[in-house]
Amino acid sequence: MNLKVNKSFYTRDSLIVARELLGKEIVYKDKEALIVETEAYTTNDPGSHAYKKRTKRNSVMYEEGGRLYVYLCYGMYNLMNIVTDKKGVPSAVLIRAVEPLNFEAKTNGPGLLTKALGISREHNGLEIGKEFMIKKGIKPRVVVQTTRVGLSRGSELPYRFYIKDNPYISRK
C-alpha cells in the first residue's frame, strides 16, 4: 500500500492544504515527524512573500504545488514551506511545528523543526516525493483555526491551523 501523498494533494488552494497537512508525516533521511501546526499563504495575501511581485527569492512559489520553499528568516532561521496550487499561482504552507516520531528534538517552531530535520536553503525547490516525503498519517480529532503568528501584514487572517492540545505546537 502506497502511503505517500499524491502530487494532486499539493495543487490545491493553500488554505485547504494547510488544514489537511495536519496529521501527515514528514519523512526525511532517517527522521519521521507528524505535522501539527501550519500557516497558509495565499495569492493575494499581504503576509505572503509573493504579494504583488515575483522575485528571485520567492520564484519557487510560482511553481506547481509539491515543492519545498525554504528561506532564511531574521538572518538565522531556515523556514520550510510546501508550495501549493497550480503553476503561476504563488501560494504556500509554512510548516510551523512537528511532533518527532522516532527522534528527540525541540520542534515547536518553524526554525527549530528545520534544524532538527536538517533542512536548509539547499532544499529550496526540492520536489516532494523522493528524498523528502510526506506520508498519510493520522486524522486529527480537533483542528483549531486562528490567526497567524509574527506578521506585520495580514496577521488578522485566520490562516493558521493546529492540532488541539498537541504539546508540540509553537503557541496557542
What is the pLDDT at residue 54? 82
CB 66 within 8 A of CB 128: yes
CB 137 within 8 A of CB 36: no
What is the pLDDT at residue 30? 95
Residue with cell 527522521: 31
In three-state secondary structure terms, 109 is coil
What is the pLDDT at residue 72? 86
pLDDT tens for the chain, 172 residues: list them: 568 899 999 999 999 999 999 999 999 999 999 999 999 998 887 767 777 788 788 889 999 999 999 998 887 899 999 999 999 999 999 999 999 999 999 999 999 999 999 999 999 999 999 899 999 999 999 999 998 887 678 778 899 999 999 999 998 7
- CATH code of 7-163, in short, is 3.10.300.10
| All cell numbers assigned to 16 | 485547504
What is the pLDDT at residue 130? 86
Scanning 7-162, the segments in alpha helix (DSSP H) are 14-21, 110-117
**Would you kindly state where each structural domain of the chain is located, as residue ranges?**
7-163
- Report pTM: 0.94
Gap between the Cα atoms of 12 and 9, Å rounded: 7
What is the pLDDT at residue 2? 62
Name 39's bridge partners.
94, 160
